[in-house]
Amino acid sequence: MTPSDPVIRLENVYTAYEGADRPTLTDISLSIGKGEFVVIGGPNGAGKTTLLETINGMLAITHGKAIVCGQDVRGDGVQVRCRVGYLLQNFAFDPLTPFTVEEVVLMGCYGTIGLFRKPRTEDYVEVKKALHLLGIEDLATRPIGQLSGGQQQKVLMAQNLARNPEVLLLDEPFSNLDMFAREEINRLLARLVGSGITVLIVSHAFDDLPDRPVRVVVMQEGKIVVSRECPPKEVEQVVRSAGKGALHA
Amino acid sequence: MPEKGLYMLEFIIQNNIVCHAVEAMLFASVACAVLSVIITQVQISSIGFTMAHAAFAGAAVGMFLSLNPTVCSIVAGVAVAFLIGPLSDKARLSPDTSLGLLFGICMAVAIFFIAYMQTLGQGFSAMGLLFGDVISLYREEIYVLAVICVVAIAFIVVLYKEITAIIFDKRIAESVGIRVKPVYYAMLFVIALTVALCLPIIGGLLLYVWLVTPAAIALQFCNRLAAMFVVAPTVAAVISISGALVGLEYSLPVAPLTAVLFSVVFIAAVLLSPRRRVTFRKI
């Protein structure tokens, strides 16, 4: 993979869930470069989360080709997931869950450490760095079940940063955060993008986006209907007009 | 006098019957208790009932075919152990539902063969599988339990990262690059194998208790999973050895007595747990 090659390249990709009688994603083609900031919008059920899980190989591709970080997703999704962070949309931990924040963040490195191996010193260093980036070092020894939803979201974000991902897939990362935490996360995302990490974010909140050109991808019924660059302030307008266009089509 | 073979606790306990019973209780309780942490956290406590009935069905079929019922019960248990993981995946069922299904099938097979044998004038007793028999054990059976204990501990030590991530959240474990399916199947298999091999010796009653209660007690005091993996087997070993010694000393049934002791300790743990403490401090 050369520096100019796209980090994510999808060619005519189709994805279907087991037992479904039609594909969830149809004929998706997308090329995303290193350090791009991509906002994925669209109505509920449009296939936004499915797109993220197709990119990291958690969902099977039935047709087409997907190359992420230079690796064929259809060949070995596990290798791709070691290099791609993915913040899931839904989580809720039992207050009695016996895991501390530090342990949960360290889990982010488990795939890269490999089977039968113990975490290395550098993994613990990465955990500390990730906790520091999110400003939650003071929570390190607290049980994750006893934290608020927003704090848990930050912990899972730190978990994804701990393995130094080349691509970060974020599914509704602001859903549990207050306005201060949102601003904080947006500043962090801007820094990550600046350092060359590609960020794809599924969101319905388009204010406070990093002050830099953003690629907007709008999805409708499992297809990409818009994919273009625009200033952050216009993202909401692009998503709205694409939605109206589809409604009147 | 200690009998020939690999000595374990004979140097401390001179009476062979008591010694074997204590060794059996120690190895089986530690094996089941370390696995109880996984069972309670992944919420598959019905694996105990299912495996017990698989062994029951195997023994019934073995009796019907004039084969060794103990060997048949182990074979049936291992066969069901292989089925649990793939069945939940292929049928898109939760592991608990798969276990419920297999439980029903095993019970039906067992009852069918018992009833059929009764019409043929042959008897079959299920009491041995329910209560086990810790006071007439052969040394080889103790070795089997010792091996199971080592296998269970080694399994957790070797795959600790993967197991803890799966316990935390299967989807998150998958998203960080863990091969969830093979580890999860291996986890179910080791649990089921332990149950299948312990059941004829220890009995279903105590086995159910060992597969849930030690972890439930540990959870009252531990905030970390690693601590639970130490506290649960330690508590289980202490209670089980005490149960065996007291039971044999006063001629009381060992398995039910130990099960009662576990219940008492669990109640005490709930009452003493710092997790339910409310602070009245103002600063």
The domain limits of chain B are: 16-273
Helices (H), chain B: 16-42, 47-64, 69-90, 95-119, 127-131, 139-158, 160-168, 170-175, 180-202, 204-219, 225-249, 254-272
Question: Which residues in chain A belong to E strands, given as ranges?
Answer: 8-15, 25-32, 37-41, 61-68, 71-72, 84-87, 167-171, 198-202, 214-220, 223-230
User: A136 to chain B nearest CA, in Å?
Assistant: 19
Which candidate from A58, A98, A112 shows the least CB-CB separation from B174? A58
Cα→Cα distances B243→B22, B24, B204, B209, Å:
9, 12, 16, 13
Do A58 and B169 lie within an 8 Å CB cutoff?
no
Strands A198-202, A167-171: pairing is parallel
Q: What sign has the CA pseudo-torsion B25, B26, B27, B31?
A: positive
Half-sphere exposure of B18 toward its Cβ, with a 13 Å CA cutoff?
Answer: 17
CA pair distance B30, A171, nearest whole angstrom:
42
Residues of chain A with pLDDT under 50: 247, 249
Sorted by sequence, the CB contacts under 8 Å of residue A190 that are 6+ apart come out as A37, A210, A211, A212
Tell me if B207 sits within 8 A of B52, measured CB to CB. Answer: yes
ipTM of the complex: 0.91
The CATH number corresponding to A1-83+166-177+200-249 among 2.40.50.140, 3.90.600.10, 3.40.50.300, 3.40.190.10 equals: 3.40.50.300
Nearest to A78 among B172, B177, B227 (CB): B177
Radius of gyration of chain A (CA): 18
Q: What is the pLDDT of residue A247?
A: 47
d(CA B138, CA B148): 16
Nearest to A86 among B165, B175, B178 (CB): B175
Q: Cβ of B176 and A107 within 8 Å?
A: yes
Burial string for A135-149 (b: 16+ CB within 10 Å, else e) reads: ebeebbebbbbbbee
Q: What percent of chain A has pLDDT over 90?
A: 64
Q: What is the pLDDT along chain B (283 residues), one digit of tens a residue?
A: 445 555 577 777 778 888 889 999 999 999 999 999 999 998 888 887 787 788 788 888 888 888 887 788 778 887 887 787 788 777 778 878 888 888 899 989 988 988 888 787 766 665 666 667 777 788 888 898 999 999 999 999 999 999 999 999 999 999 999 999 899 889 888 988 888 788 777 877 888 899 999 999 999 999 899 999 999 999 999 999 999 999 999 999 888 899 999 999 999 999 999 877 777 777 6
Q: How many CA atoms lie within 13 A of A61 on its CB side?
A: 25
- CATH class in words for B16-273: mainly alpha
**Count of residues for chain A?**
249
> Beta partners for A64?
none
Contacts of A45 (CB under 8 A, 6+ apart): none
Q: Crossing angle for the helix pair B16-42 and B204-219, nearest 10 degrees?
A: 60
Tell me which of B36, B161, B179 to substitute to probe the interface with A (most A C-beta atoms closer than 10 Å).
Answer: B161
The first and second tokens of residue A74, run together, are: 């259809």
Say if the Cβ atoms of B161 and A19 lie within 8 Å. no
Task: Tell me the pLDDT tens digit for each residue of A143-172.
Answer: 999 899 889 999 999 999 999 999 999 999
What is the DSSP-derived secondary structure letter of residue A228?
E
Q: Which residue of A96, A102, A107, A170 is the best one to mutate when testing the B interface, meaning the one whose CB has the most B CBs within 10 A?
A: A107
Residue in B with minimal Cα distance to A101? B224
Amino acid letter, B245: L
Name which of B92, B175, B228 is nearest A56 (Cβ-Cβ): B175
What phi, psi does A120 have (nearest 5°)?
-95, 170
Min Cα separation A173/chain B (Å): 15
Instruction: List, in order, residues 6 or more apart from A226 with CB less than 8 Å away.
Output: A216, A217, A218, A238, A242
User: In angstroms, what separates the C-alpha of A119 from chain B's closest C-alpha?
Assistant: 9
pLDDT of residue B6: 58
Per-residue pLDDT tens digits for B136-183: 788 888 898 999 999 999 999 999 999 999 999 999 999 999 999 899
Cβ neighbours, 10 Å, residue A114: 11
User: How much is the pLDDT for A133?
Assistant: 93
∠ Cα A236 A219 A57 (to 5°): 120
- Nearest CB among B92, B161, B219 relative to A110 is that of B161
Predicted pLDDT at A245: 59
Q: What is the pLDDT of residue B10?
A: 72
Question: For the residues of B142-198, what is the DSSP string, one character each?
Answer: HHHHHHHHHHHHHHHHHTHHHHHHHHH-HHHHHHTT--HHHHHHHHHHHHHHHHHHH
pLDDT value of residue B263: 95
pLDDT (0 to 100) of residue B4 = 55
Q: What is the largest CA-CA distance in chain B?
A: 77
Q: In this predicted model, what pLDDT tens digit does every residue of A216-239 receive, in sequence order? A: 999 999 999 999 999 888 888 888
Asked if A103's CB is within 8 angstroms of B225's CB, the reply is yes
Q: Closest CB to A96: pick one of B159, B164, B219.
A: B219
Chain B residues touching A168 at Cβ < 8 A: none
* Nearest by Cα to A116 from B125, B53, B160, B242: B160
Q: What is the domain partition of chain A in residue ranges?
A: 1-83+166-177+200-249, 90-164
| CA-based nearest distance B228→chain A, Å | 8
Contact list, B165 vs chain A (CB under 8 Å): 107, 110
